[in-house]
């Protein structure tokens, strides 16, 4: 059972763990399901940057990379991210770059791959709730793309 302060989402993807891994480490593959601009350097200390259509941009660095098995990176909002669509505190003040940690574990199963995502260190309940919804939304898009489907427009497209 997961800790209550950890956001956790599990999905089955109809691809091998090696292919699922590429969706997290190859910018061209990652941008098919999440982000309009993606920079990934999948090695410990390498950059993790994903800008979404609504102007929010996640910024962190890779912590641990185990090909076909595990990807772990730090996560927070890039300076200025999402400010055009938000009032109140700046997102990067609520969750600075690299302030939280995302673990993606990949395990082969009968459907292809079971992907378990855990997002740690989000702090307050509102941040956890927002990230729970966002990860559920984006991982559903990943499942659609991996099965050859169209995930539809990225959330908040055109904002």
* CATH number, domain containing residue 128: 3.30.530.20
Contact 51, 80 (CB under 8 A): no
* In a domain? residue 38: yes
Helix (H/G/I), strand (E/B), else coil: 132: helix
Encoded tokens for 58 = 């996640």
Residue span of the structural domain in which 47 resides: 7-146
Residue with token string 């990934």: 40
Query: Does 60 map to a domain?
Result: yes
> What pLDDT does 154 receive?
76
Number of domain units in the chain: 1
Residue 19: name the closest of 153, 113, 134 by CA: 113
Query: What is the model's pTM?
Result: 0.89
Q: Which range among 23-27, 70-74, 108-112, 155-159 shows the weakest confidence by mean pLDDT?
A: 155-159
Give the DSSP H or E segment for 12. strand 7-13
pLDDT value at residue 1: 44
In a domain, residue 121? The reply is yes
The DSSP 8-state label assigned to residue 59 in this structure reads E
- Supply the pLDDT for residue 85: 47
Counting residues of the chain whose pLDDT is more than 90, the rounded percentage is 70
Rounded average pLDDT over 107-135: 94
Spell out a b/e string for 59-74, using b for 16 or more CB atoms within 10 Å of the CB, else e: bbbbbebeeeebbbbb
The two three-digit tokens of residue 103, written as one number? 């673990």
Task: Flag whether pLDDT at 120 surpasses 60.
Answer: yes
């Amino acid at each position: 059972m997961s800790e209550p302060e950890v956001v956790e989402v599990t999905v089955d993807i109809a691809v091998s763990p090696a292919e699922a891994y590429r969706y997290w480490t190859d910018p061209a593959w990652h941008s098919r399901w999440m982000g309009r601009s993606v920079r990934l350097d999948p090695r410990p200390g390498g950059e993790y940057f994903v800008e979404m259509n609504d102007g929010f941009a996640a910024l962190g660095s890779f912590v641990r990379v185990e090909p076909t098995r595990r990807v772990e990176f730090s996560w927070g909002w890039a300076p200025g991210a999402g400010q055009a669509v938000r009032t109140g505190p700046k997102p990067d003040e609520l969750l600075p770059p690299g302030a939280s940690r995302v673990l993606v574990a990949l395990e082969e199963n009968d459907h292809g791959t079971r992907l378990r995502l855990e997002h740690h260190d989000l702090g307050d309940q509102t941040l956890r709730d927002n990230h729970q919804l966002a990860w559920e939304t984006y991982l559903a898009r990943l499942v659609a793309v991996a099965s050859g489907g169209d995930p539809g427009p990225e959330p908040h497209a055109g904002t």
